[in-house]
Amino acid sequence: MRLTEAKLKQLIRESMQHSEYYTKLKTLMTTEEGFSQAESLFEMVEDLLEPQERDWLKTYFGTIDLARELFTLNLQHNEAKEKFDQIEIKLIQGAPIDGEADKAYSAMVRSSNAHYKNKKEFDQRMEAMLRHSGDRGIYDTVESMTRKILRGEI
């Protein structure tokens, strides 16, 4: 296959177009309001982006999703711990260990393990974003949003 001048120009235009989408998305992502818009736009142009661009954007958006999961897991863990604590009081007062106590303890351990696993992945993503040069504005936005999510504010 021979590369013609017209084909080369088309490839260059397509390449520039991809970078323009990436640049536009990154620009939007520097504010919390823009981040939400960028997330919607990303779904529409995801296939048009270069693989590396797509991967980095997925890291940013995925971190927000992980923060939401962490918040939910934290609520589940707190609920499981509260149930276990109530049963533990009964056990201290002399009640026999039964299936309910076992079930409550298992639920608490499962929720704790799931939270730990997601928290570890969350921390790794935050670290990867911080190392990604030139994107401090996006990092600051994601960090702010995740703090609010984890506190249940958004």
Choice among 4-18, 20-34, 104-118 with the minimum mean pLDDT:
4-18
Over residues 48-102, the pLDDT tens digits come to 888 988 998 998 999 999 999 999 999 999 999 999 999 889 888 988 888 888 8
Q: How confident is the model at residue 16 (pLDDT cuts 50, 70, 90)?
A: low
20-57 burial, b at 16+ Cβ within 10 Å, e below that, comes to: ebbeebbebbbbeebbeebbeebeebeeebeeebbebb
d(CA 145, CA 31): 10
Do 34 and 28 touch, CB atoms closer than 8 A?
A: yes
What residue spans define the domains of the chain? Answer: 5-150
Share of the chain residues as helix, strand and coil, in percent rounded to the nearest 5: 85, 0, 15
Alpha carbon 116 to its chain centroid, in Å, reads 14
Q: Is the pLDDT of residue 113 over 90?
A: yes
pTM (2 decimals)? 0.76
